[in-house]
Chain A
Amino acid sequence: MPFIPHTEANIAEMLTSIGAKTIEDLFDEIPSALKSNGLQRVLPSLNEMDISRLMLERAETDGRYLNFIGAGAYEHHIPAAVWQITTRGEFYSSYTPYQAEASQGTLQLLYEYQTMMASLTGMDVSNASMYDGASALAEAVLMAVRSHKTSRKVLIPSTTHPIYRRVVNAIVKNQNIEIVEIPYHPELGCIMTENLSPYLGQDIAALVIPQPNFFGVLEEVDTLTDWAHHNGALAIGVVNPMTLAMLTPPGEWGSNGADIAVGEGQPLGIPLSSGGPYFGFMACKQTLVRQMPGRIIGRTTDVDGKPGFVLTLQAREQHIRRSKATSNICTNQGLMVTAATIYMALLGPEGLKRVATQSHINVLELVTKMEALDGVKKAFSGPYFHEAVLKLPTSTDNILKTLRTQGILAGLDLKEYYPELGNAVLVCATETKTANDLKKYIECLKRALKN
């Protein structure tokens, strides 16, 4: 069904029939002080030629950098077929994509996405995605508190992505939920049970476990998961789906596995873009499925006994349960998930493993070469995946700026998030980086450090 905008005549007819003069009249109950007077700096309209030119000029100011920054969003190679298929009209502009009578293709794809994510995370069930990784973690925290019933306290390691922690705070702070930040071990860069010992024996709803953590370091997930369960708390894994091709999936952490797994799905076929769109994922154990927010697609049989796909477990969603729904703020990212599903299908488990392995190898090599430079050393001794924190002998500002002028994004300055680390940068090298790229990075860094 095409999108048909209203004509002036349509609008006039509708206004007459409800007795309003203008569309503005429909909003007259909003006090004028609260209304914005349009977007002053945005032109009312540009023609196609002008807007294309403007956007091209803006795009050029981005430059074409050699990117060594990860920190939650990762540059991976995306096969051309991924977006070629994703942008087919059937996926890209489908009407009522969740209506079983009209959209079996979309529903089947989402079902396959859920199957892939459940398999990748080692969990029983996945929903059809969420807004992004940070809000997925916030939803996991709310879900844990709902199912725990007695405690509203959640432990979040300071090694969890700082922006995720900010988002979690923003979403849960007015819901009488207490978030406690757990400090990390200063040499290892991960959480040790001694950091958790003050909370031993307390009534805790959940422990968040990032893997790999924001520093790229691998947490002792088995010990942490068992610690949570021993304390009657749920274990929430925050994972990078790409790394799960090599690392133990959350469903197998410790003796009983994590209870909820969430994360940012961007590494699976979504290009880097400031502000997204990306997508969050969420998977859980079967026992928690009724507390899981969001859409879930189920496989069933129709009256003729033929297999088909429908939305399922909707009784607790907002269109039925209103204010008592499991969530009134979550959404899914259908198109991003379409791309991710096609990406995973094209690469397969072996392809994902090769991407993860090459990323790991690249960052190992980068770190080794960086450490060979005078005064550069790893901040932490713990094992890491495809990111690492390095301390520089001089101000990070100057070094990063210098490398930027040479076309290299050399890492994320951690000053704002972890001032205690001093001149520290978080670097990442995915499979997209060649031996020459690494060489160029090291040469430029070496020169910058000498000046």
Chain B
Amino acid sequence: MHIPSHLKYTKSHEWIRLEIDGTVTIGISQHAQELLGDMVFVEYPKIGRKLKQGEECAVVESVKAAADVYAPMTGEVTEVNSELESEPEKINQDPYAAWLFKLKPADLNELNELLDAAAYQRIIESEIH
């Protein structure tokens, strides 16, 4: 299972990357895209929307299911990856490149509450077994 060590994760299978400018980029993990299967549609949060940690804010829809994406941190949506509108399959091809949206976090300390790669690995293993 590919779980890059420089990213943070959530139990609900989002990955989070802190950028130099202090924003965070969010996508779904390799494990999540494998569970969902072929992606057909992505529904983004509106740019400028203020999200609370744990709030439902996006939907990724595959041929099998539509799954909610939760805000991993409190903050304001600054950008969405509109490339996925026409090519949602990029999430399947490279889930760590195919980001969904960016947030400007209200409190960067929340980043410390998120899972590191090893902790996320353990969660996936416990789900599988």
Contacts and interface: CB of A to CB of B under 8 A. Distances in A.
21 contacts: A149-B46, A150-B46, A290-B41, A290-B43, A290-B61, A315-B40, A315-B61, A315-B62, A315-B63, A315-B64, A315-B65, A315-B66, A316-B61, A316-B66, A320-B64, A320-B65, A320-B66, A321-B65, A321-B66, A324-B66, A324-B68
Nearest to A316: B66
Contacts of A324: 66, 68
Contacts of B64: 315, 320
Interface in B28-60: 40-41, 43, 46
A401 B127 CA distance: 71
Interface string A123-152: 000000000000000000000000001100
Nearest to B63: A315
Contacts of A290: 41, 43, 61
Contacts of B61: 290, 315-316
Interface residues of A, number: 8
Interface of B: 40-41, 43, 46, 61-66, 68
A149 B50 CA distance: 13
Please provide the 6 A-B residue pairs with the shortest distance between their CB atoms, ordered closest to farther. Answer: A315-B66, A316-B66, A315-B61, A315-B65, A320-B65, A321-B66
A315 B65 CA distance: 4
A316 B62 CA distance: 10
Nearest to B66: A315
Contacts of A320: 64-66
Given A290-B43, A320-B65, 17 more contacts: A150-B46, A290-B41, A290-B61, A315-B40, A315-B61, A315-B62, A315-B63, A315-B64, A315-B65, A315-B66, A316-B61, A316-B66, A320-B64, A320-B66, A321-B65, A324-B66, A324-B68
Contacts of B40: 315
Contacts of B63: 315
A215 B12 CA distance: 53
Nearest to A289: B41
A99 to B, nearest CB: 18
A324 B65 CA distance: 11
B67 to A, nearest CB: 9
B1 to A, nearest CB: 25
Contacts of A150: 46
A315 B59 CA distance: 11
A103 B99 CA distance: 41
Interface in A303-354: 315-316, 320-321, 324
B103 to A, nearest CB: 17
Contacts of A149: 46
A290 B40 CA distance: 11
Nearest to A150: B46
Contacts of B46: 149-150
Nearest to B64: A315
A315 B40 CA distance: 10
A142 B55 CA distance: 20
A296 to B, nearest CB: 14
Nearest to B56: A324
Nearest to B49: A149
A325 to B, nearest CB: 9
Which of A149, A290, A315, A316 has the most C-beta atoms of chain B within 10 angstroms of its own C-beta?
Answer: A315
